[in-house]
Chain A
């Protein structure tokens, strides 16, 4: 029994120590960000590998999710003769929830894990150490550009996911199932509010992007410099980002849309 308490105590301490280290790390990243103003190229290179290379996954997934939404939504709505509302259902589900959340989960799997593995391996092969010995701060040269690129990419990718999803829903609903095209778009236009829905969805994706970027670069930088250490860190990035995104999603949704 005492053992159990000891274990609980030590793992809680370890958790808080890690959170503290993560917080301090984030401060160091923030203090390194201003140096990027004079070297935008470093960020642009990372925007390509973090953002542009994730686009294909996001576009295809968005399209598929939208098509499924169109199909499921139609089957439910048609029972009530409300299939004209399909545009509204698809758009609201995507911009409020699925866009930010699913894009963040995909982003963690595609870009977050890659960032962690890259930084972790740079640490394991002493490249970060070597940089420090060359009087180059790895925070400014390696970490900050990747962090900023991820923070910028995530909302853009989430927006792209939603847009592709709506297109997917349109193809299935209007193209295959015969929903009226005018009704599809006008219902959407009438019921989707720019501030209430689109902006709130955007805020969500910014928050998720920030958290996903923080977890990815921190896990890489904090990884044990061994093969096993990097592999564990990569797994942790995906798992922790998923938990953080889903947890934050509930909190943000409650704050934005619900009166819990």
Chain B
């Protein structure tokens, strides 16, 4: 991506380093998230994609590097400012993270009740409008346990847009969904992004779906960005790693086997111990 002016960036990550205990997750990662676009961050399981979203949301602090959200370093702002920034962003959890003791309606109403003092009738209209967008106005009285996985994610999406955020982060939105639901969620992400002028970040490993709806893609492996570009550019990339990932090949630069001692020696060790 050509270097964008800071005003055109919703999120700007520079030199990000992070570790879970002794395991390095990020080692000098630079990412730009442009405003108004859908940016995908891809990588195999365990590359810390969810961690990245939590770092952008200020829930986890990096060991080094900076994360600027709307020009403010989210890890060095006061608690009040952090909460002010969080009202401008939403994170759609993989599980939906709906409140299981509240109905669908109350789940969507939750952020409105917490942050606004709207009269009940206006609140009702707003909630129904958000539910209408995701097609679940009729499910308003159901409890989260009565919803399918796809419906739960759509309710979570309605809740995520309740406060009209500037940015939505999607954590693995397609995982474990049937093809129809995947289609519905893809359409919703694109539609919400364009209609509401949002900025969207999707972390996922569903190459096919992401290629269709993303404007720009980043590929992560072993704590680093190994490639980025538009879906077309990545599709024709010369990098072996990107080819393996995009093509879904079982072996390549990312090995099939978890690191282990030599196979034959391992088996023989069992024989000599007998």
**Contact surface of A with B, Cβ cutoff 8 Å:** 125-127, 129-130, 132-137, 141
Assess A127 versus B99: contact at CB under 8 Å? Given A133-B86, A135-B84, A141-B114. Answer: yes
Closest residue of chain A to B94 (Cβ to Cβ) is: A126
Q: Is B87 close to A, CB under 8 A?
A: yes
Report B-chain residues with C-beta under 8 Å of the C-beta of A129: 54, 59, 93, 97
- Tally of A-B Cβ pairs under 8 angstroms: 46
Contact A134 B95 (CB under 8 A): no
The CA-CA distance from A136 to B84 in the complex, in Å, is 10
Report A-chain residues with C-beta under 8 Å of the C-beta of B149: none
Q: Is B57 close to A, CB under 8 A?
A: yes
Contact with A along B70-83 (1 / 0, CB 8 A): 00000000000001
**A-contacting residues, B99-137, CB 8 Å:** 99-100, 110-111, 114-115
User: Mostly helix, strand, loop or mixed at chain B's interface?
Assistant: mixed
The CA-CA distance from A141 to B84 in the complex, in Å, is 17
Assess A126 versus B84: contact at CB under 8 Å? Given A134-B110, A134-B111, A136-B111. Answer: no
Report A-chain residues with C-beta under 8 Å of the C-beta of B83: 135, 137
14 contacts between A and B (CB under 8 A): A125-B95, A127-B97, A127-B98, A127-B100, A129-B54, A129-B93, A133-B59, A134-B86, A134-B87, A134-B163, A135-B87, A135-B114, A136-B110, A136-B115
**Contact surface of B with A, Cβ cutoff 8 Å:** 54, 57, 59, 83-84, 86-87, 89-91, 93, 95, 97-100, 110-111, 114-115, 159, 163
The CA-CA distance from A132 to B111 in the complex, in Å, is 11
Give chain A nearest CB distance to B149 CB in angstroms: 13
The CA-CA distance from A135 to B90 in the complex, in Å, is 10
Contact B100 A125 (CB under 8 A): yes
Report B-chain residues with C-beta under 8 Å of the C-beta of A135: 83-84, 86-87, 111, 114-115
Report B-chain residues with C-beta under 8 Å of the C-beta of A134: 86-87, 90, 110-111, 114, 159, 163
The CA-CA distance from A141 to B115 in the complex, in Å, is 12
Report B-chain residues with C-beta under 8 Å of the C-beta of A141: 114
The CA-CA distance from A134 to B112 in the complex, in Å, is 10
